[in-house]
Copies of this chain bind each other. A is one copy, B any other.
Amino acid sequence: MGGDNAPQTIVEGVEIARDEFLDVEFVLYGDRAQIDPLIHNTDRISIVQADEQIDMNDEPVRAIRRKKNSSMVMAATAVKNGEADALFSCGNTGALLAAGLLLVGRIKGITRPGLVSTLPVVSSDDQSFNLLDSGANADSKAEQLYQYALLGKYYATSVRGIKEPRIGLLNNGTEPHKGSKLTLEAHDLIAADESINFVGNVESRDLLEGVCDVVIADGFTGNAVLKAIEGTASSVMHLLKNTIMNSGVSGKLGALLLKSSLGEIKGKMDQSQYGGAVLLGVKAPVVKAHGASDAKTVYYTIKQIKSMIDGQMLPNFTEYFSAQQQKEDQAAVVDKK
| A contact residues vs B (CB 8 Å cutoff) | 122-123, 135, 138-139, 170, 172, 178-181, 183, 203-209, 217, 219-221, 223-225, 227-240, 243-244, 247, 250-251, 253-258, 260-262, 264-265, 268-269
> Which listed residue (B139, B220, B258) contacts A258, Cβ 8 A?
B258
Indicate how many identical chains form the complex: 2
Question: Chain B's nearest CB lies how many Å from the CB of A317?
Answer: 25
The contact of A233 among B232, B264, B269, by CB within 8 Å, is: B232
Residue in B181, B236, B261, B262 whose beta carbon sits within 8 Å of that of A139 in the complex? B181
24 contacts across the A-B interface (CB closer than 8 A): A122-B235, A123-B239, A138-B172, A138-B179, A138-B181, A180-B220, A203-B224, A204-B231, A205-B234, A217-B224, A221-B224, A224-B224, A229-B231, A232-B236, A233-B236, A236-B236, A236-B237, A243-B261, A247-B258, A247-B261, A251-B257, A251-B258, A253-B257, A257-B257
CB A337 to nearest CB in B, in angstroms, measures 37
Q: A236 contacts B180, CB within 8 Å?
A: no
Q: How far is the CB of A203 from chain B (nearest CB, A)?
A: 5
Q: Which residues of B contact A235 (CB under 8 A)?
A: 122-123, 208-209
